[in-house]
Chains A and B, each alone.
Chain A
Amino acid sequence: MSTTLWIIIAGAVATYLTRIGGHLVISRFERIHPRVEAGLNAVPAAVLTTLVAPAALSAGPAELAALAVAAVVGLRGGLMTMFLTGAAVLIAMRHFIG
């Protein structure tokens, strides 16, 4: 089997474990330690930030403008609005700046 297939299968198993695991494990505890809970709460933002920040580090003006506009729109609008606005800025600026 190819590496890609292994990644998909292992990723699917890992994902299913997160979806059933909370019920099987966490619900048995009366209370999660507040520090553990704070750490768990931080996981998605912390992980996802690492996928944006280095990309911004090596980005040009079009990419930076797209991120900046998207961030401002994201304060108000939903995920879809902000994504489409950011994409529009990126495409327009790449078109005009090259």
Chain B
Amino acid sequence: MSDRRGEFLQGMRLSVPVVVASAPFAILFGALAVDNGFSVVEATLMSASIYGGASQLVGIELFGQHVAPWLVVLSIFAVNFRHVLYSAAVGKHIDHWPFLKQAIGYFFLVDPQYAEAERKGENGEQVTFAWYMGMALPIYVFWVAESALGALFGRLIPNPHAIGLDFLLPIYFLGLVMSFRKRPRWLPIVVASAVASMIAYKTVGSPWHVSIGALAGVLFAAAMPVRSDESLTSEETAEVVS
């Protein structure tokens, strides 16, 4: 059991780049959450309980637009839906853990965590709970703490418009959209969703453009002829924060 410590430290080392890269987004999330009407406690609680950067940013954006609560939750679910695939894939590597450890482990299954666990498992190495948590805990602790910091100091920003605070999210979301560009039929799906959401935005109105646009892209993808070489790989999970 002496190498449990070594495993934990090995995992911790992998967390460093993720901690660094996700820091600005955690702070941005905190600041924007307060800007969109969240309290500091609520913003921190959201980071601690959902622990999924993109979905949290989507959530507060829609909340700020006064979208119906169920639709905010549905959007969080939709953005996080990719985890179903991670979960199905990573399951075979952590099947040997006791049930409670598995239940804990799945909570921390963010994009980089999945990518590293999958890589370790595919290399034939054992994915241990100590290694897994060694990577997960620093990312989680920093994520929550930096969200709180962003929320605390976000309200001190005198002129949010001048530093572009109101338009940072669309830029960030564009980056997330592009991080999936290796997936099959990415461009036509994006075009279908973009056109449908813009038309819906002008006709039906917000917030329905989100569901209508998303549905258009998904249905388009499902309706296209099936190609045999299409399968989900781990490489396209380029985003740093999940």
Interface residue ranges, A against B (CB under 8 Å): 3-12, 14-27, 34-57, 59, 63, 66-67, 70-71, 74-75, 78-80, 82-83, 86-87, 90-91, 94-95
Contacts and interface: CB of A to CB of B under 8 A. Distances in A.
A34 B58 contact: no
B162 interface: yes
Contact of A79 (B102, B176, B198, B216): B176
Contact of A15 (B37, B50, B91, B167): B50
B88 A46 contact: no
A90 B166 CA distance: 11
B75 interface: yes
A47 to B, nearest CB: 4
A75 B177 CA distance: 11
B46 A8 contact: yes
A87 B168 contact: yes
Contacts of A41: 183-184, 221, 230, 232
Given A21-B84, A35-B222, A74 B175 contact: yes
B171 A67 contact: yes
B197 A53 contact: yes
Interface stretch (B4-12, B124-132, B149-157, B187-195): B187-195
10 contacts: A6-B69, A15-B83, A18-B87, A22-B91, A45-B186, A49-B190, A51-B173, A57-B198, A59-B170, A79-B238
A24 B169 CA distance: 33
Contacts of B75: 47
B171 A70 contact: yes
Contacts of A55: 167, 170
B14 interface: no
Interface of B: 21, 24, 37-39, 42, 45-46, 49-52, 54-55, 58-59, 61, 63, 69, 72-73, 75-92, 102-103, 106-107, 109, 161-164, 167-181, 183-186, 189-190, 192-198, 201-202, 206, 209-210, 212-224, 226, 230-232, 238-240
A80 B77 CA distance: 24
Which has the most chain A C-beta neighbours within 10 Å: B91, B172, B198?
B172
B107 A11 contact: no
Contacts of B90: 23
Given A4-B63, A86-B171, A87-B171, A46 B216 contact: yes
A43 B78 contact: yes
B170 A39 contact: no
Given A19-B109, A27-B91, A51 B163 contact: no
Which has the most chain B C-beta neighbours within 10 Å: A37, A48, A70?
A48
A14 B83 contact: no
Given A23-B88, A43-B218, A53-B193, 20 more contacts: A8-B49, A11-B50, A11-B77, A18-B87, A26-B88, A40-B85, A42-B183, A43-B82, A45-B177, A47-B217, A50-B196, A50-B212, A55-B170, A56-B170, A66-B164, A71-B174, A83-B172, A90-B164, A91-B164, A94-B162
Given A20-B87, A95-B162, A49 B106 contact: no
